[in-house]
Structure 1
Amino acid sequence: MKEPWSIKSRARECAKSGEAFQSGQKIRAAIFPDPESSGYLRKDYSIEAWEDRESEEDPFSCWLTTYEPPVTEEKAEDVVDDDPETLLKRLVDEEEEHTENARYILAVMLERKKLLRETDTQEIPSGILRIYEHRKSGDVYIIKDPQISLTDVDRVQEEVRQLLDPESTGTEEPAENIES
């Protein structure tokens, strides 16, 4: 079953009061089931608004974070077409079921590089969802944990390597074995 996981961006103002957030302000981010689809909605609240909100709407996931204004311009040299972050965004946007393993491995890679932080883990009938927040932009990625077995790790790592560098075949001979 194809499930819609998409990137959820940080809001610039409180979902309840409409008041603009200030740089460095502690806020409460929450993911709610979307009543109009099978996906999720992100809402950001000031701490006061979160405490005063109606309890009738229970979040799927929530966490405390620090608001930073969105980055408006990225330097061209900072963006590489086939870097893990760009690839993860593309795969999440495409929502292809066969890339589930690669999305998970990329999210873990970015977490280890301290670009993403795991904010929550939720069990759903079809498995486990891991919720990651991008440390700089505040974007949230909802990634299904495919429970990759140890016997499949090498294959999945090679799949990710091929996605990051489609021109490499992974079968190059060491330099000392190549005749000139």
Structure 2
Amino acid sequence: MDWQIKPLARECAVSGEPFEIGDEVICFLYRDEEGQLQRADVATSKVDDFPRPEAVLGRWGREVKPRGEDEREARAHALATTEELFLSLFESDSADVAEDRELFKQVLGLMLERKRILRSQGRPVDGQQSYLHVRSKVLYSVQSSDPDPASLVRIQEELNSLVF
């Protein structure tokens, strides 16, 4: 299974103003009050006005690119966004979404290993797989277990609104 993060929204989630080419945008992946997975794209100038939910899974930055970028660049952009999402999962520590965060880390880790962005470091030890982030040379430890199929289905259904 290969999940790709949807492209950047064309307007700010806080102000509703359209993004201009070259604008810097912060993307948030979080659970709303109803427990639904959501994504919000916010202009960097409006980040302080964004009501940060408690259950933020991750955040990353993007630059607004012109529409109609070629397919190859779009795939590279989606892969970079996926990589940034994976890395951001290690920065957030909300206990409300710890189980989801671990599942995201595991799935994204496997996907990024396949894309050669992460390199596994031997076999899992004590239920943890170590990955080397090739570019930064930083080691990341990810849960290594057989995910519950019901959890994978639940996450996949929630991601339908965020991924293509």
TM-score (norm 1): 0.41
Structure with higher Rg: it is: 1
